[in-house]
Amino acid sequence: MKKFIFLFISCMTLTVQAAELKAPASCPDVLNVQLNDLNDEPANLCDYAGQVVLVVNTASYCGFTPQYKALESLYRKYHQRGLTVLGFPSNDFGNQEPGSNKEIAKFCKLTYGVEFPMMEKANITGANPSAPYPALIKATGDTPQWNFHKYLISRDGKVIKSFASDVKPDSAVFIAELEKLLAKR
């Protein structure tokens, strides 16, 4: 009987330890979102908890579209330090993203070599914006006024900075804020 109890307790301890290893990090409310990516694969934004996350609404036919190049450069340069860029294509501003998810994915890959995660086409404006936009708007008080509006989210999700479309991702102002958030653990 003692052997059985010992084995039972040992198995339970290993099970609890394994569960603790697999347990996800605490997910900030702003990232507690399930949706699909451009390839129609499920995406859980909680997977990015603990990272600095840059959320940007994108469009393929906008004067700001060349920002894709700077966004991809940021992603490649800072990804190892904990930055994730999440693109949210939207047709809400000037009908500048009319394509399907598949067409958008192809455009981003072939034109700008985009490797950072791109989510399915989203609604940014109107009565029912797609998640995570309601939380981002509430946290900052800033609603995107055009394509390529950027939200920079701290690792714990408590600090969210908003940047208008004309603030380039490689600008000194943006990089300074990014560096501050990356430095905090």
pTM of the model: 0.86
Inside any domain, residue 44? yes
Please determine, for residue 56, whether its predicted confidence score (pLDDT) is greater than 70. Answer: yes
Inside any domain, residue 4? no
| 46 annotated active-site | no
Inside any domain, residue 18? no
Q: What is the pLDDT of residues 129-180, one digit of tens each?
A: 999 999 999 999 999 999 999 999 999 999 999 999 999 999 999 999 999 9
Confidence of residue 127 (pLDDT cuts 50, 70, 90): confident
Inside any domain, residue 3? no
Q: Which of 11, 27, 46, 62 is catalytic?
A: 62
Domain carrying residue 131: 25-183
H or E segment and range at residue 16? helix 2-22
Inside any domain, residue 14? no
Q: Is the CB of residue 71 less than 8 Å from the CB of residue 85?
A: yes
Inside any domain, residue 1? no
CATH of the domain at 139: 3.40.30.10
Contacts of 82 (CB under 8 A, 6+ apart): 50, 51, 52, 155, 182
Domain count, the chain: 1
What is the average pLDDT across 89-115?
Answer: 97
Inside any domain, residue 178? yes
Inside any domain, residue 168? yes
